[in-house]
Amino acid sequence: MTQYTCELLQNEITCFQNQIQSCCSSQLGPVYLPDYKGEPIDWDKLVKMKEDALIGMKNGDIPENCKGCFNLKPCENPPVKKEFSRLIISHWVHCNCSCVYCARNEFSNSLVTRVPKNSDFYDLFPILKGLYENNLLAQDGSLFVDFQGGDIAVLEEFEDIVKILQAHNAGYIRFTTNNIIYQPLIEKILKQNKGELMTSLDCGCAETYKKLKRVDKFEDAVKNLEKYRKAAPDAFVFVKYITVKGINDNASEVNKFLDLMTKLKVPAVSFEIDYRDIMMNPNKRFDIPAHYYELLEIFKKRCAENNIKLTLFTHTENVLKQGYFGENK
């Protein structure tokens, strides 16, 4: 019998706008609290769901939501952990842009929010309190936190959440933001080397940016990216290029983007693919277009020439190797 485990299931808890689940990937993984609206949580029950899924994997019984996932790995005598060391915070969807590829559009109706407000779905603070009171979040400096959203610039409780995490010795925080609004708190944490900045620029000119983001804020995003680089030159800043059919899937736009990254001395970029194609509909097959591999080669060549780290997220890398995502034909 082959034993299995999953690093995400072992370590990660994800607070989405509509549910609390085990992981943030193309597969759902075990969903602890579907259709969650802020009601009190039975933490013992949640932990048991996690442990049952891990023990099942250990015995070769793969949870239905995990079957076929790239994160599922054979492992001899895998551990069964109670504590979480990764926290994904994505309990809000409102944003100050409206990216065409965003997975949250179905919840936000693609509306643009300009005034900060709290989540429309539930209050995160009781969840943090419950996790810490039940010793379910690492407090030894190993906790990795990933803010997703929505955008943190329009999340009113953002700074208060960070204060709670820091008070409990969070190790490292990833701030995912569109960079339209500069955040002094992010600058402070970048300077402390306690976090990193991730942003999706996805292009190298204002015209394409407006098509992708549906707001005219390219200059603001670039200016703020440059400001973070100057304020914290040693911090890890990571800029994504999400390839969208018919908009930025061409060599001209890729080269403009890489020209800009070189000028700003950005330490790392990633080549990604429209999430609607490779994550959001596993029952529909998407074959990777041949020219996407040509664009990836441009990234590899120019990043190597300009000392920029090129990263592929594990899921994207696996999809590119496979050549398609979703159901076999």
Query: What is the bridge-based pairing of β-strands 20-21 and 237-243?
Result: unpaired
Is residue 17 domain-resident? yes
Range of the domain at 308: 236-329
- Nearest CA among 256, 246, 254, 170 for reference residue 211: 246
Which pLDDT score, from 0 to 100, does residue 27 have?
A: 58
Query: Which of 48, 74, 100 marks a domain boundary?
Result: 74
The average pLDDT across 34-58 equals 95
Is residue 110 domain-resident? no
Which pLDDT score, from 0 to 100, does residue 110 have?
A: 65
The average pLDDT across 92-100 equals 93
Query: Which of 36, 54, 74 marks a domain boundary?
Result: 74
Is residue 19 domain-resident? yes
pLDDT band (50, 70, 90) for residue 125:
very high
Whether the per-residue pLDDT at 25 is higher than 70: the answer is no
- What type of residue sits at position 2? T
Whole-prediction pTM value? 0.92
Query: Which of 47, 74, 101 marks a domain boundary?
Result: 74
Whether the per-residue pLDDT at 314 is higher than 80: the answer is yes
Is residue 44 domain-resident? yes
Query: What is the bridge-based pairing of β-strands 144-147 and 237-243?
Result: unpaired
Whether the per-residue pLDDT at 120 is higher than 70: the answer is yes
Is residue 20 domain-resident? yes
Is residue 149 domain-resident? no
**φ and ψ of 214, to 5 deg:** 60, 25
What string of DSSP letters covers 223-284?
Answer: HHHHHHHHH-TTS-EEEEEEE-TTTT-SHHHHHHHHHHHHHTT-SEEEEEE-HHHHTS-TTS
Whether the per-residue pLDDT at 20 is higher than 90: the answer is yes
Is residue 272 domain-resident? yes
pLDDT tens, 274-313? 988 887 777 789 999 999 999 999 999 999 999 999 999 8
pLDDT band (50, 70, 90) for residue 329:
very low
How many structural domains is the chain composed of? 2
The average pLDDT across 177-201 equals 97
Q: Do residues 107 and 33 touch, judged by C-beta distance below 8 A?
A: no
Is residue 65 domain-resident? yes
Whether the per-residue pLDDT at 71 is higher than 50: the answer is yes
